[in-house]
Amino acid sequence: MRKIFILALTLILAFVSCSYSQEIKIGACIYRFNDAFMLRFRNAMQAESEKSGAKISIADGQDDQNTQDAQIDEFIANGVNVLIVNPVDRMSSQPIIDKAKQANIPVVFINREPAPEMLNSYEKAYYVGANAEESGTQAGQLIADYFKAHPEADKNHDGKIQFIMLRGQNGHQDMILRSKYSVEAIKAAGYEPVEIAGAIANWDKLEAMNIMNAFLMSIGPENIEAVIANNDEMALGAVEALKNNDYNKGDANAYIPVVGVDANASALEAMDKGEMLGTVLNDADNQGISAVRLALALAEGKDLNSIGYTITDNKYIWIPYQKVTRGEK
Ligand code: BGC
Ligand code: CA
């Protein structure tokens, strides 16, 4: 009896220690926790790691590259098997790649795309994201479609669309390309876009609200025909400012179409209430899941074709965007 007990105990201990030694440790860095979209991304990574039996630690870079660099050093010192990094400054990714290479651990960048030459400097450096041009095009199409369906939206009847652009953080690929391609899509639909005012609101709702308040005061809502925001938080800030001016509260004569990107729950709610025209799904779930699966496959030396997502150019996973509207408004 005793012998069997000891044998069973030994087996259990062996099993436990063996599964422990196989547990992969992921060190993940987020540019800033206080970001609605990155919260969705984080939750998806956390859930996928739990599902896969991996241990993920996620650090808040607090929008400071030095803070994030120190967090990366600490992850490496603590022996993580792989890094997932959402860089504060995507153009400062080279030192991060160099550190990962030095430690011989893979690094998967997310949401903020390092330059190709940076990624190419290390065979175990990858990027998971969504094609920013696509989201810009789709946001512009939402505005153009609205003008097709509502000729009266051209308030001054000049055949042009006088719009306000609210931009994300400077240098972010999503800020650059969404701004550019939303305007291109409006042109492609046969309208002449005219940016009557624009500003950087750093992806932030409050900043966008203050900026929009100032624009409403100086320009007048009757002279604004559309608001294009690089993300939902800024779109919602604009909606808040409009509502304070008795716009976008259900009266068709006091309405300015506002579009964002992300499809965060709060934006979908605003769309349901008719306060916001539309958004573009930035698929945090699939980006988060694929980033974790890729990280684990790299850490375990597994076949990358087994993770259920296509890897392009041996470096990239691209998750598609998708237009979201709430029927005819
Ligand atoms: C999202 C923004 C977010 C930013 C963070 C973008 O892809 O659309 O909402 O603030 O990423 O880097
Ligand atoms: Ca016009």
CATH number for position 264: 3.40.50.2300
Please indicate, yes or no, whether residues 230 and 101 belong to a single structural domain of this protein.
Answer: no
Please indicate, yes or no, whether residues 293 and 274 belong to a single structural domain of this protein.
Answer: no
Q: Is the CB of 111 under 6 A from ligand 1?
A: yes
Q: How many CA atoms lie within 13 A of 236 on its CB side?
A: 20
Q: Is residue 3 part of a domain?
A: no
pLDDT reported for residue 6: 61
Cβ atoms of 44 and 86 within 8 Å: the answer is: no
Q: What span, in angstroms and rounded, lies between the C-alpha atoms of 42 and 84?
A: 11
pTM for this prediction: 0.93
pLDDT reported for residue 238: 99
Please indicate, yes or no, whether residues 58 and 189 belong to a single structural domain of this protein.
Answer: no
Which residues of the chain have a pLDDT value below 70? 1-21, 327-329
Please indicate, yes or no, whether residues 67 and 187 belong to a single structural domain of this protein.
Answer: no
Ion ligand 2, residue ranges at CB < 5 A: 154, 156, 158, 160
Please indicate, yes or no, whether residues 143 and 189 belong to a single structural domain of this protein.
Answer: yes
Q: Count the domains in the chain.
A: 2
195 CA from centroid of ligand 2 (Å)? 11
pLDDT digits (tens, 9 = 90+) for 54-104: 999 999 999 999 999 999 999 999 999 999 999 999 999 999 999 999 999
204 CA from centroid of ligand 1 (Å)? 10
As to burial, measured by CB atoms within 10 angstroms (0-12 exposed, 13-18 middle, 19+ buried), residue 156 is exposed
Q: Which range marks the domain in which residue 315 is found?
A: 24-130+284-321
Q: What span, in angstroms and rounded, lies between the C-alpha atoms of 293 and 65?
A: 26
Please indicate, yes or no, whether residues 164 and 242 belong to a single structural domain of this protein.
Answer: yes
The residue to which tokens 């259990």 are assigned: 12
pLDDT reported for residue 98: 98
pLDDT reported for residue 8: 62
pLDDT reported for residue 7: 60
Please indicate, yes or no, whether residues 94 and 185 belong to a single structural domain of this protein.
Answer: no
pLDDT reported for residue 327: 66
pLDDT reported for residue 232: 98
Q: Which ligand is nearest to the CA of 156?
A: 2
Q: How far is CA 12 from CA 2, 6, 55, 137, in A?
A: 15, 10, 21, 57
Q: Is residue 161 part of a domain?
A: yes
Q: Is residue 18 part of a domain?
A: no
pLDDT digits (tens, 9 = 90+) for 303-322: 999 999 999 999 999 999 99
Please indicate, yes or no, whether residues 79 and 149 belong to a single structural domain of this protein.
Answer: no
Q: Which ligand is nearest to the CA of 208?
A: 1
Q: Is residue 53 part of a domain?
A: yes
Residue 129 CA: nearest ligand 1 atom is 7
pLDDT reported for residue 22: 74
Phi/psi for 315 (5° steps) reads: -140, -30
Q: Which ligand is nearest to the CA of 178?
A: 1
3-state secondary structure of 167: strand
Please indicate, yes or no, whether residues 237 and 186 belong to a single structural domain of this protein.
Answer: yes
Please indicate, yes or no, whether residues 274 and 185 belong to a single structural domain of this protein.
Answer: yes
Q: Is residue 4 part of a domain?
A: no
Q: What span, in angstroms and rounded, lies between the C-alpha atoms of 211 and 242?
A: 11
Residue 262 CA: nearest ligand 1 atom is 8
